Amino acid sequence: MRKDRLDGSGAVILMAVTLLFALNQIVIKLVNEGLQPVFFAGLRSAIAIGFVWAWLVWRGRPPRLRREAWGPGIVIGCVFAGEFVCLFIALDLTTVGQASVIFYSMPVWLAIMAHFGQGERITPVKFAGLLLAFSGAAWAILDGQAGGEGSIWGDLCALGAAIGWAGCAYLARRPVMKAEGPEMQLFWMVLVSAPILLVVSPLFGPVIRDLQPQHIGWLLFQSSVIVGGGFIAWLWLLSAYPAATVASFSFLTPIFALSLGALVFGETLSPAILGAAILVAGGIILINRPGLQLTESAR
């Protein structure tokens, strides 16, 4: 049943999902110690195919690869693969907090794409949000190079991942992919990205690092709970509550990621990175006011 406002139970679920997406950054960095990042991303997509397929079958809508969706499906899968090459490498090179703040500048790039490609006008409020989020991402990158814990290549990869995420969201809003529905969009993404990532992964170095049993456990956790369960919960929230309200809560993810990065890896919470996170969070809230709604997962 569709609700016109976020209630208590919806808020609790939404908080849990945003925390889960922040945990995603931690898991990636942990498993990168045992598996080469691109190979890890490919394995994640390959395993996630089974979980998404099972979900669709359970919902009574088994995956159906329609002829007219092949082209757009392959394109969105390729962009998805590029996004996660960048994100997994970013988390291998820079801190969780740094990567998360930059990665969640995604609404900036989606708003620009939607403005020029889909005629969604950038209002003064959204423009203010763009400036805030862009300033936050730029501040995070500059802080990382001015004595921070970041890496310029890691930060740039995180920026590439944000643009790739925006590209996926933009393509998901195009007519053919929109008709597929969010769950089939996810199926196309993991189905196409898995072989691409696995094939190109040897180009990025040995695929096995110091693999331990816990790395395999976290890989399975991410493929099932985070990619399958987290994304599906996010889709349910978007279908049950106002999409702009749900999307605005994604500002919590980089905040949670900063906290978890400090807790798990001992990352420094400098005034600059906290200020950058606040700017990005404020920008997300303004950009996601009614008018421009994010329909793709806040991973």
pLDDT at residue 232, rounded to an integer: 78
Inter-CA distances, 59 with 42, 55, 56, 215, 245, Å: 26, 6, 5, 31, 26
Closest Cα to residue 204, out of 256, 274, 261, 157? 157
Q: How many CB atoms lie within 10 A of CB 254?
A: 32
C-alpha 235/C-alpha 258 separation (Å) is 25
pLDDT at residue 281, rounded to an integer: 87
Structure tokens at 65: 């690869």
pLDDT at residue 148, rounded to an integer: 58
Write the burial class of residue 194 (CB in 10 Å: 0-12 exposed, 13-18 middle, 19+ buried). buried
Per-residue pLDDT tens, the chain, 299 aa: give them.
667 777 778 888 888 889 999 999 999 999 999 999 999 999 999 999 999 999 899 989 899 999 999 999 999 999 999 999 999 999 999 999 899 999 988 888 888 888 888 777 888 888 888 898 889 888 888 876 655 566 889 999 999 999 999 999 889 888 999 889 888 999 999 999 999 999 999 999 999 999 999 999 999 999 989 888 887 787 777 667 776 677 777 788 888 999 999 999 998 888 888 899 899 888 888 887 754 444 444 45
Model confidence pTM above 0.85: yes
pLDDT at residue 294, rounded to an integer: 43
pLDDT at residue 144, rounded to an integer: 65
Inter-CA distances, 129 with 82, 217, 288, 289, 290, Å: 26, 39, 9, 10, 13
pLDDT at residue 26, rounded to an integer: 95
Quote the Cα angle for 56-58-62, to 5°.
40
SS3 content of the chain, % helix, strand, coil (to 5): 80, 0, 20
**Unique residue bearing structure tokens 């001992």:** 266
pLDDT at residue 227, rounded to an integer: 85
Angle between helices 96-103 and 271-287 (to 10 degrees): 30
pLDDT at residue 45, rounded to an integer: 95
3-state SS, residue 88: helix
